């Protein structure tokens, strides 16, 4: 796996983070999926489109209700501070 640096406006990134959070996906996965969709040949695209996720499997996914700017490290630190007083 390679890293890639992109220049994207702050507003676009903020909207993308909200979208990713609402859809339980990472921005990396969304971007990779998009790039695969526009760059793979038709036969490969057809194979990918055949793989569907059933509604039952989707229902097993945990809905992420945390805000996009949630600081889990701070929350964990606060939790431990309270626990070990």
- Residue 78 has a pLDDT of 92
Q: Are 62 and 24 in contact (CB under 8 A)?
A: yes
Residue 28 located in a structural domain: yes
Residue 2 located in a structural domain: no
Q: How many domains does the chain have?
A: 1
> Comparing 57 with 11, which gets the higher pLDDT?
11
- Residue 79 has a pLDDT of 92
Among 32, 44, 26, 34, CA closest to 2: 32
- Residue 81 has a pLDDT of 92
> Comparing 77 with 61, which gets the higher pLDDT?
77
- List pLDDT tens digits, range 13-64: 898 888 888 888 888 888 888 888 888 876 655 555 566 666 777 666 666 6
| Domain encompassing residue 43 | 10-60+67-83
Cα 61 to its chain centre, rounded Å, is 13
Q: How many CA atoms lie less than 13 Å away from 12 in the CB half-sphere?
A: 6
> Which tokens sit at 67?
């805000």
> Which tokens sit at 46?
């057809």
Among 36, 16, 15, 14, CA closest to 26: 16
Question: Has residue 68 got a pLDDT over 70?
Answer: yes
């Amino acid at each position: 796996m390679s890293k890639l640096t992109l220049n994207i406006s702050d507003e676009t990134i903020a909207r993308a983070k909200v979208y990713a959070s609402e859809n339980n996906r990472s921005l990396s996965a969304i971007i990779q999926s998009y790039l695969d969709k526009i760059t793979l040949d038709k036969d490969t695209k057809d194979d990918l489109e055949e793989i569907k996720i059933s509604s039952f499997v989707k229902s097993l996914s945990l809905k992420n209700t945390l805000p996009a700017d949630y600081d889990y490290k701070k929350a964990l630190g606060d939790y431990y501070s309270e626990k070990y007083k």
